[in-house]
Amino acid sequence: MRCENLRTLVVLDSYARDISIGWREILQWKYVRTLTWLESGIWAIPNEISGLIHLRYLDLSENGRLEELPDTMELRGIERLTNLQTLDEFYVQYGDEGNKLEHLKNLNQLQGRLTITYQRQRGPGVGDAAIMVNKVHLLHLVLNVEGALRWNDLMALQPPPGLESLGIDRYRGIPLSTDWWSSLHSLRLLTLSRCGFLPSLGNLASLESLNMKYVNVRKVGVEFLGIHDQDQSEASRRRHTSFPKLKQLTFDDMPIWEEWEGVKEDSEKMAKIMPCLSQLTISGCYSLEALPEFLWKTPLQKLHIRKSRILQKLYRQGIGEQRDKISHISTINVEEP
């Protein structure tokens, strides 16, 4: 096969099919810039791959037999790739060898989406605050703590202020403070999954979609709305809006959640609460006793309740004790308990 000027090569599932292309041919195509080799069953990469001097993108996903990269690639340690723009996933590993969180510090040209999966016991330290904050082109970030491990001091890892979406999975360490969230002025989508606390989020000015799953709390208090600051003047509190742009809100699989606290009448007069909320979904919240009154003053258009026994009895059509409170909502789906 004569492909001396080939720029892009994609090989899919060559392990299952009889593909004759091998490293001997690839290493002769000196102008290859993009190499994607998926599900191939390869177990080693030759050192000569360093001869592909124009290679800019290498994807070896789903090659379960591949155990390590050749020395010639490891010498190009990721911390030295300061112009790297795309990094889909980064694994912080156990022990002294392997990837470390600080290897990301100077990769400030990263853009698009990044998932950080943390696989070792020690969390970010005080000196790690600047590792992510300068990545101004990064728009989507997922922080994943595998198994029972914890980032005990995630507050030290300040996220980039330009993030548009953020996911935090399996974090059960120190609750993140209001200050930690305050810099996320552009955040539109937030997903919290399998976390041990629910932060104060009502002051996120751009947040449009909030999804919470397996969040281990018994009560969602008014602090969640961001109206807990008693030091503000009455005039300042009167101008406050909680979740000013939130449109979609989901609580999913929170079986121990019992109470969603409402607000006192004087607090309600001093703050607008979720003035753009149009869709609320509650699923798998078996112990939740009622929905707060302030929800019926939002422009809610779609309400979906499922696998939440108490709420299903309260709001189901015809015989629900509080069905009249939601009669103004145009689309209601309350599944039978």
Residues 160 and 231 in one domain: no
Same domain, 59 and 114: no
Mean pLDDT of 13-24: 54
Among 74-78, 106-110, 250-254, the range scoring the smallest mean pLDDT is 74-78
Question: What percentage of residues in the chain have a pLDDT greater than 90?
Answer: 38
CA distances from 280 to 103, 112, 209, 242 (A): 40, 29, 10, 16
Quick one: 209 and 327 in the same domain?
yes
Domain assignment present for residue 192? The answer is no
Report residue 198 as tokens.
């629910």
Q: By three-state DSSP, how is residue 73 classified?
A: helix
Give me the percent of the chain exceeding a pLDDT of 70. 77
Mark whether 94 and 71 lie in a shared domain: no
Range of the domain at 253: 198-337
- Please report the pLDDT score of residue 240 as a whole number: 80
284 located within any domain: yes
Instruction: Say whether pLDDT at 183 is over 50.
Output: yes
**DSSP at 177:** P
Residue 94: exposure state from Cβ atoms within 10 A (0-12, 13-18, ≥19): exposed
Judge if 130 and 9 occupy the same domain.
no
Q: Is the pLDDT of residue 229 over 70?
A: no
Same domain, 206 and 320: yes
Query: Is residue 58 located within the same domain as residue 152?
Result: no
Distance, C-alpha 254 to centroid of its chain: 18
Average pLDDT over residues 308-312: 93
Residue 191 pLDDT greater than 90, yes or no: yes
Same domain assignment for residues 67 and 110: no
> What pairs with residue 192 in β-bridges?
168, 212
Tokens of 185: 């002025």
Domain boundary among 162, 187, 212: 187
Residue with tokens 């976390």: 195
Answer for the pair 162, 138: CB distance below 8 angstroms, yes or no: yes
Given this model, what pLDDT does residue 149 score? Answer: 47
Please check the confidence at residue 139 and state whether its pLDDT lies above 70.
Answer: yes
Q: 10 Å Cβ neighbour count for 10? A: 10
Do 282 and 155 share a structural domain? no
Q: How many CB atoms lie within 10 A of CB 252?
A: 17
Q: Look at residue 193 and tell me if it is in a domain.
A: no
Q: What is the mean pLDDT of residues 60-76?
A: 66
Range 230-236 average pLDDT: 47
154, 275: one domain: no
CA nearest to 141, candidates 120, 117, 167: 167
pLDDT value for 94 = 63
Q: Are residues 245 and 285 in the same domain?
A: yes
Residue 169, CA distances (Å) to 33, 146, 147, 196, 297 in order: 34, 8, 10, 10, 32
End-of-domain residue from the set 54, 76, 98: 76
